[in-house]
Copies of this chain bind each other. A is one copy, B any other.
Amino acid sequence: MQESASKKAGRDSALALAGSLFARLREGCAADWQAYTRHAFVRRLGDGSLPQACFRHYLVQDYIFLKHFARAYALAVFKSEAIEDMRQSAATLDALLNAEMSLHVRLCDGWGLSEAEMLATPEHPANMAYTRFVLERGLSGDLLDLLVALAPCVAGYAEIGLWLNADPQTRLDGNPYRDWIETYGGGDYLTVARAAVAQLDRAAGHRTGGDPASSARWPSLQLTFSSATRLEVGFWDMGLAPREP
C-alpha cells in the first residue's frame, strides 16, 4: 500500500519531527526504517492475523527488554551534566519501572503469563544484541550517543502506533492486539515520544551544536541509529519465530 504524502506529513507533524535530529537520522536509513516500522509483525498486529504464540513470545522478551531499557535511562541520568537533563531521564526511568512494566505485567497476566515466568525465560540473542548494544554505546560514548541508540525504539513505537491507527488494513474490532495498538497509537505515548525527540535535539545542541548532520560526529551517530534500527528488525523477526532461543 502506498500511503499519501499528506498522511505521512500528518504523522510527522504529530511527532513534531520537522527539523529534528530524529527525522534526519531516520532519513539516513530509510530502507532499514521502513523494514522496522512496516515489519510483517507490525502489519499482522494491525489486522489481527498474528499467531498468538508469536505475541506471547514477543511479550515475554519485551518485558526483559524493558528492564534493560530502564537501566539505559538510569545510565542517561548518570551521564547528564545539567540537572534538567537528569530530571527528564529520571522521569522516563520512573515511567518505565513503575508504570510501563506494571502495565506490561497486567497485560501479560491477561495472556496467562506470570511475572515469575517472564523473568525465568532465557533472554533471546536478538534481545541481548539490541539491549546490550544500547547500554554499551552509552558507556563507551557520551549522553548523545546513548540517546541516539535509544531513539529508534522510543520514537519508532509512536510512529508505528500512529501508522496502524491510520492504516485502512488495521482492524480494531475483535483484534486481540487492540490494546497494544491503542497504547502506542494513543496520546499518552505520543507525549512520551515527543519528549524523547525534543530531548535528543537538546542533547545534540549541547554536544554538536545546532546542525548535528554537518558535524564531525555525524557518520558515527548515523551508524548508531541505523544499527539500532536493524536490531529492532531483528526483534520483530524473533517475534515471528517463537522457538526457544
Contact = CB atoms under 8 A, between A and B. Distances in A.
Closest 6 CB pairs of A and B: A132-B132, A74-B77, A129-B129, A209-B216, A142-B142, A74-B78
Interface in A168-225: 205-210, 215-217, 220
Given A77-B74, A216-B206, A129 B125 contact: yes
Nearest to A233: B125
Interface of A is mostly: helix
Interface residues of A, number: 51
Contacts of A142: 140-142, 145
Interface stretch (A19-27, A35-43, A83-91): A83-91
Given A87-B97, A125-B125, 10 more contacts: A67-B83, A79-B141, A83-B101, A128-B231, A132-B133, A135-B136, A206-B220, A207-B216, A208-B215, A208-B216
Contacts of A78: 71-72, 74-75, 78, 135, 140
A158 interface: no
